[in-house]
Amino acid sequence: MRRRALLVVAMGCVSCPTTLVFAHGDPNLIDEKITTITVQKVDASRLISEQFKLSIPEHAVELVWFVRSRDKEAIRFAIMENGIARAKELRDGSKTRLLKGDAYYVDGVIGTDDPFMLEVYAHLVRW
């Protein structure tokens, strides 16, 4: 019976590694700013950013996106890569999985007609 219980626990570990990071020991979650992105008008009706790189620090478990604008409560946006939405319907304070690469851009902005800034933070686990 004990072997079966250990097998069930081990199988659960494979399917939810992020949960185990928080459950094991007593880690502190730390925010580390990894980039600031400017989202600008490209024509009368579209806001978009230039391509940006996300360099993920060691021990990062997720990304947090903060909108810096007076309209931050209304703004929604997507993170795109090569025309494919990698994260969509994001808003101020949204959390996403780790996105690694150097060809991301912001598009699909709704809720404002004005340029704004995004600050991207990584949540890190420090032991």
Residue 102 lies in a domain: yes
Residue 36 lies in a domain: yes
Domain count, the chain: 1
CATH at 111: 2.60.120
- 3-state SS of the chain is CHHHHHHHHHHHHHHCHHHHHHHCCCCEEEEEEEEEEEEEEEECCEEEECCEEECCCCCEEEEEEEEECCCCCCCEEEEEECCEEEEEEECCCEEECCCCEEEEEEEEEECCCCCEEEEEEEEEEEC
Q: 33 lies in which domain range?
A: 27-126
Residue 6 lies in a domain: no
Q: What is the pLDDT of residue 8?
A: 36
Query: pTM of the predicted model, to two decimals?
Result: 0.77
pLDDT digits over 24-39, tens only? 344 578 999 999 999 9
pLDDT digits over 37-73, tens only? 999 999 888 999 999 999 999 999 999 999 999 999 9
